[in-house]
């Protein structure tokens, strides 16, 4: 009777769905037995048994044979997601450095490569440095471009749908750079370009200071201040990719905030403008009165833009990240005080735990999301690098 409402197409769709359900369960778990997977997925034990064997044959899972002996019969074999079936790359193309992380499908970083770049490097020089560090990273990791399933690159400035930063970028000449097109000469897999603040926000929720939160305002604080917004658990890009750019509004004071540090009296002439802020934070920590006052003025201005975001979005957590987060010990308490004064509800204010690696780590996370999204919407085929 009941079988009459189930067509053959419905059945095949259900089986595909069930396979994906098991892959997803494996992806989020330590190695699991068929019984455990059945409980996790709500599928029957025999169904999971058939599916798991198929996933091993297909290259998506490996068998973990039981070790040692058991007093209560033969212990069950376990299945594990085969994280080394593919790899992803996350890159941070910054003003001063390029950082490349190569990871397996579980996000375990298997190799890191970095290089410095001059802040005034033109696009060809910066792209050449990127190409060189990617080549180094791949060869040192014993991989080729064909082993990579997704690449994500973080850049500064709002990134549009084509991966360009035409609205604004502090990198010289970068408005005209088509990074995805440049990289598509060597990689056949999906390539995503994303704003650095947004990626760092993703990283803090993945492995950093905001793992418990779904509503996060992330501040990338350095010589410039930017923001990345996670709302209801999802990174928000905005309609044109320019969400988080509140710092462009003079009234919220982020444009001038860092200058309080650079213009602090007493910074030695030998300290470069790029290092002045670090000098001031250290001097403030040592009790230098001018430096303490400069930090106070910095925090007061930082708090205006932050309060605007807090009042607009009412987040659970504000994460203070970026280069200046090394001096979070001087910033967090006065920032909380200012926000308490300016906001209706004070969120939890925390320091980044990922520091300078957050952008590249967030790029890895986005690359893994790209892999998962193809896996769970386009379905299972053999585990090989997807093509654009």
Partners of residue 99 on adjacent β-strands = 92, 114
- The reply on whether position 86 binds its own copies by CB under 8 A is no
- The reply on whether position 257 binds its own copies by CB under 8 A is no
Q: Going by C-beta distance under 8 Å and a sequence separation of 6 or more, which residues neighbour residue 316?
A: 213, 214, 215, 216, 347, 348
**Both tokens assigned to 260:** 């309080």
- The reply on whether position 316 binds its own copies by CB under 8 A is yes
Q: In the complex with its own copies, which residue's Cβ is closer, 43 or 99?
A: 43
- Report how many residues bind its own copies under the rule CB under 8 A: 61
Q: Going by C-beta distance under 8 Å and a sequence separation of 6 or more, which residues neighbour residue 200?
A: 154, 218, 220, 228, 321, 322, 352, 354, 358, 359, 361, 362
- The reply on whether position 56 binds its own copies by CB under 8 A is no
Smallest distance from the beta carbon of 243 to its own copies, in angstroms? 4
- Of 240, 265, 266, 340, the residue at the interface with its own copies (CB under 8 A) is 240
HEC states along 202-243? HHHHHHCCCCCCCCEEEEEECCCEEEEEEECCEECCCCCCCC
Smallest distance from the beta carbon of 278 to its own copies, in angstroms? 28
- The reply on whether position 202 binds its own copies by CB under 8 A is no
Q: In the complex with its own copies, which residue's Cβ is closer, 215 or 372?
A: 215
- The reply on whether position 67 binds its own copies by CB under 8 A is no
Strand (E) or helix (H) holding 165: none
- The reply on whether position 384 binds its own copies by CB under 8 A is no
Which one of the spans 100-108, 131-139, 218-226, 246-254 is the region binding its own copies (CB under 8 A)? 246-254
- Of 118, 128, 181, 249, the residue at the interface with its own copies (CB under 8 A) is 249
DSSP 90-125: EEEE-SSEEEEEEEETT--EEEEEEEE--TT--HHH
Which one of the spans 55-63, 199-207, 247-255, 282-290 is the region binding its own copies (CB under 8 A)? 247-255
Q: In the complex with its own copies, which residue's Cβ is closer, 159 or 264?
A: 159
Contact 127, 343 (CB under 8 A): no
**Both tokens assigned to 178:** 């088509």
- The reply on whether position 378 binds its own copies by CB under 8 A is no
Using CB under 8 A as the binding rule, the residues of this chain from 163 to 182 that contact its own copies are 167-168
- Block residue for tokens 């990719």: 241
Strand (E) or helix (H) holding 246: none
Q: In the complex with its own copies, which residue's Cβ is closer, 59 or 168?
A: 168
Partners of residue 152 on adjacent β-strands = 90, 192
- The reply on whether position 186 binds its own copies by CB under 8 A is no
Using CB under 8 A as the binding rule, the residues of this chain from 294 to 313 that contact its own copies are 304, 307-309, 311-313
Strand (E) or helix (H) holding 11: helix 8-27
Which one of the spans 13-21, 100-108, 143-151, 274-282 is the region binding its own copies (CB under 8 A)? 13-21
- The reply on whether position 119 binds its own copies by CB under 8 A is no
Contact 233, 227 (CB under 8 A): no
> Which residues contact its own copies (rule: CB under 8 A)?
2-7, 9-12, 14-15, 18, 43-44, 46-47, 50-51, 158, 167-168, 214-215, 227, 229, 231-232, 234, 236-249, 251-253, 304, 307-309, 311-316, 342-345, 347
């Amino acid at each position: 009777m009941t079988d009459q409402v189930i067509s053959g197409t419905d059945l095949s769709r259900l089986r595909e769905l069930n396979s994906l359900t098991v892959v997803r369960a494996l992806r989020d778990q330590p190695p699991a037995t068929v019984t455990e997977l059945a409980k996790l997925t709500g599928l029957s034990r025999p169904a999971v048994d058939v599916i798991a064997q198929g996933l091993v044959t297909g290259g998506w899972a490996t068998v973990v044979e039981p070790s040692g002996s058991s007093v209560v019969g033969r212990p069950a074999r376990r299945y594990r997601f085969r994280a080394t079936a593919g790899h992803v790359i996350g890159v941070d193309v910054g003003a001063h450095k390029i950082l490349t992380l190569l990871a397996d499908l579980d996000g375990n970083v298997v190799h890191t490569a970095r290089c410095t770049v001059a802040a005034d490097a033109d696009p060809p020089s910066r792209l050449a440095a990127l190409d060189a560090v990617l080549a180094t990273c791949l060869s040192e990791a014993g991989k080729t471009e064909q082993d990579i399933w997704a690449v994500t690159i973080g850049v500064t400035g709002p990134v549009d749908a084509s991966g360009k930063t035409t609205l604004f970028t502090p990198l010289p000449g970068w408005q005209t750079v088509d990074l995805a097109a440049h990289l598509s000469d060597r990689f056949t897999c999906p390539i995503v370009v994303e704003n650095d603040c947004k990626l760092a926000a993703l990283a803090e929720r993945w492995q950093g200071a905001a793992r418990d939160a779904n509503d996060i305002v992330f501040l990338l604080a350095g010589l410039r201040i930017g923001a990345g917004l996670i709302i209801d658990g999802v990174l928000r890009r905005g309609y044109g990719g320019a969400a988080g750019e509140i710092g462009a509004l003079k009234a919220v004071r982020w444009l001038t905030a860092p200058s309080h540090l650079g213009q602090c009296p007493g910074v030695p002439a030998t300290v470069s403008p790029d290092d002045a802020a670090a000098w001031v934070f250290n001097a403030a920590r040592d009790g230098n009165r001018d430096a303490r006052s400069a930090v106070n003025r910095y925090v007061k201005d930082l708090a205006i833009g932050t309060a605007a975001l807090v009042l607009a979005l009412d987040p659970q957590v504000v994460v203070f990240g970026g280069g200046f987060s090394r001096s979070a010990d001087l910033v967090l308490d006065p920032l909380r005080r200012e926000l308490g004064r300016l906001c209706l509800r004070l969120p939890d204010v925390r320091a980044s735990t990922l520091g300078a690696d957050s952008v590249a780590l967030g790029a890895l996370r986005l690359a893994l999301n790209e892999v998962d999204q193809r896996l769970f919407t386009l379905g299972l085929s053999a585990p090989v690098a997807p093509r654009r």
